[in-house]
């Protein structure tokens, strides 16, 4: 596993420690992390503070997203995929999509390269959370 996915997993674990949903994300440009984030819907009481959105906010205004790669421990949902497409991020590396399929086809249809690493560690984080917090998870995915 590379250092960038490890950083995303660290963000997911931080979210879990804060009592939130364990999803983490980092934005990489020129081999450096320029933004980090984790799902803060619970902590902030904000329905749109998903990990990828928090990551993009923390990266700030960077002008062009050309050449960036977004890492996320979970396949991005339609909300986050919309931001990815809107900003022209052309590569997404997801830790897993077994617990939640996300918006993979949407991103691909808009020219985004999507890599699913199918990491057991990411799946375990989510499976454990979903099993322990089904109502909160269903709220997060709009069920």
Question: What residues are annotated to the active site?
Answer: 52
Q: What CA–CA distances, in Å, run from 14 to 11, 62, 67?
A: 5, 25, 27
Q: Among 106, 98, 100, which Cα is nearest to 81's?
A: 106
Length of the chain: 143
Q: What CA–CA distances, in Å, run from 7 to 1, 106, 107, 128?
A: 10, 25, 23, 20
**22, 46 Cβ separation under 8 angstroms:** no
CA distance 3 to 42: 27
Q: Among 137, 141, 12, which Cα is nearest to 73's?
A: 12
């Amino acid at each position: 596993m590379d250092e960038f996915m490890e950083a995303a997993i660290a963000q997911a674990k931080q979210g879990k420690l804060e009592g939130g949903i364990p999803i983490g994300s980092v934005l990489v440009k020129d081999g450096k992390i320029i933004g980090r984030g984790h799902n803060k819907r619970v902590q902030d009481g904000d329905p749109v503070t998903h990990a990828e959105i928090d990551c993009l906010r923390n990266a700030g205004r960077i002008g062009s997203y050309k050449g960036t790669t977004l890492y996320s421990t979970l396949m991005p949902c339609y909300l986050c995929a919309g931001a990815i497409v809107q900003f022209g991020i052309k590569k997404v590396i997801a830790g897993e999509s077994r617990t939640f399929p996300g918006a993979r086809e949407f991103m691909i249809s808009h020219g985004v390269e999507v890599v699913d690493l199918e990491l057991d560690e990411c799946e375990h984080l989510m499976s454990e959370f979903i099993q322990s917090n089904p109502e909160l998870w269903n709220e997060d995915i709009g069920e």
